[in-house]
Amino acid sequence: MAASPVLLPVKIELPLTSIQELIKSNANIIPTRYAVTNPNPVSNSESNGCVLPCMDSHIIDLKLFLDFSSPCAKQELLKLHVALTSWGCFQLVNHGVESSLLDQLQVVSKEFFALPLEEKRKYSRTVEWHEGYGCDIVSEDQPIHWNDRLLLRIHPIEQRNLNLWPDIVPNFRETLDAYSTEMRTVVKLVLKAIAKSLDLEENSFLSQLGEDGTFFARFNFYPPCPHPDRVLGLKPHSDGSLITVLLQDKDVEGLQVLKNDQWYTVPVIPNALFVNAGDQLEIMSNGVLKSPVHKVVIDKEKARMSVAVPSGVNIDKEIGPLSELINKDRPRLYKNVKDYIPIFLQHYARGDRAINAMKIQL
């Protein structure tokens, strides 16, 4: 039977003012609702006063997975297995997405966030649903993110809400449509490779995603802050997805991953895509793979942008650990669950992890 955790009601808040507008009025003051309780190390840059180690750059060549029987592919699968079991994430190169398309995606992203507020508000989200322009909902005891974002469903195509796709930005829709096609191709091959790295049949995870799997594109804008250690672009969290593919800012670092209670900066690799496992993959793999906790910190002087594409099973589909990964040495560790994303969003607003509610207490 699928898990349906019951959460007590909590007061939630959707910030009415964008960060971009907030800092226009007074760039040097951090409102109380945005301030974090404990100062956080922000960078591996000495200019920010704190040096953090960089994570190991496990670089995976996707092109080598076009033929899984080749010796090069088998070596790359071993690298992928190490990256996923040690970090839960990796840098992807030779992924087939043209650099010109990556550049154009960043251009239309910048053009959208440069629009006047009244234009951006035409694409606003609501309290009830997270798609559209605005901020993330948080509970009243959680700091608000130093982040404005535009979240759009990109697949299934028939479920796109085109009213939220900015038509005022030249080539925005065409660029996102082209990128959406590329992301589906990349995700399919990555999921096959992940399955092969675990000695599973290559479609083990892809069949769970199915043709009706849900893909979103999240455009993030992180303005600079004079006191970056007192705010967070995104609080520590794991993703509710199967996997997430991230296009980082070309010039500004900010993503950090947690491993063994230590934060590591994720380096920027030109034209690489950063891929991380999500909660759904952790459940399906019966905990063999973990969904990494990560956060985004702010730069003192420079704005940062990124585009994340989380993919996951259709909301109506039940997921659970694959039977091939359950045995006497590794019993079932996770419950079956349906409608995971609404559950995830409730926990996310509270600042805790939904995946913990999915675990079976042995």
Contact status, residue 311 vs residue 244, Cβ threshold 8 Å:
yes
**Structural tokens at position 195:** 């399955």
Q: Does residue 257 sit in helix, strand or coil? A: strand
The burial of 42, by beta-carbon neighbours within 10 Å (0-12 exposed, 13-18 middle, 19 or more buried), is given as: buried
DSSP three-state, residue 18? coil
H or E element at residue 113: helix 99-113
What per-residue string of b and e applies to 249-269 under the rule 16 or more CB within 10 Å gives b? beebbbbbbbbeeebbbbbbe
Cα separation, 112 vs 217, in Å, equals: 14
Place of tokens 């920010």: 48
Pair 25, 34: CB distance under 8 Å = no
Q: What values do phi and psi take at 218, rounded to 5?
A: -115, 110
Q: What are phi and psi of 153, to 5 degrees?
A: -75, 130
Q: Cα angle at 102 between 125 and 253, to 5 degrees?
A: 75
Q: Are 277 and 133 in contact (CB under 8 A)?
A: no
Q: Return d(Cα 225, Cα 319) in angstroms, integer.
A: 41
Measured torsion, CA atoms of residues 353, 356, 357, 362, in degrees rounded to the nearest 10: -170
| Residue 329 Ramachandran class (φ > 0 left, ψ -120 to 50 alpha, else beta) | alpha
Phi, psi angles (nearest 5°) of residue 216:
-120, 160
- Residue 48 has a pLDDT of 45
Is residue 188 classed exposed, middle or buried when 0-12, 13-18 and 19+ CB atoms within 10 A define those classes? middle
Q: Smallest Cα–Cα separation from 108: which of 183, 185, 187, 165?
A: 165
The end-to-end CA distance of the chain, in Å, is 17
- Give the tokens for residue 303: 């704005």
Q: What is the pLDDT along the chain (362 residues), one digit of tens a residue?
A: 455 554 544 555 666 678 888 888 776 788 888 888 876 665 544 444 457 899 987 999 999 999 999 999 999 999 999 999 999 999 999 999 999 999 999 999 999 999 999 999 999 987 677 899 998 878 877 888 999 999 999 999 999 999 999 999 999 999 999 999 999 999 999 999 999 999 999 999 999 999 999 999 999 999 999 999 999 999 999 999 999 999 999 999 999 999 999 999 999 999 999 999 999 999 999 999 999 999 999 999 999 999 999 999 998 899 999 999 999 999 999 999 998 988 998 888 888 899 999 999 87
CA gap 221, 144 in Å, rounded: 14
**Dist CA 51 CA 39 (whole Å):** 14
DSSP helix/strand/coil, 165: coil
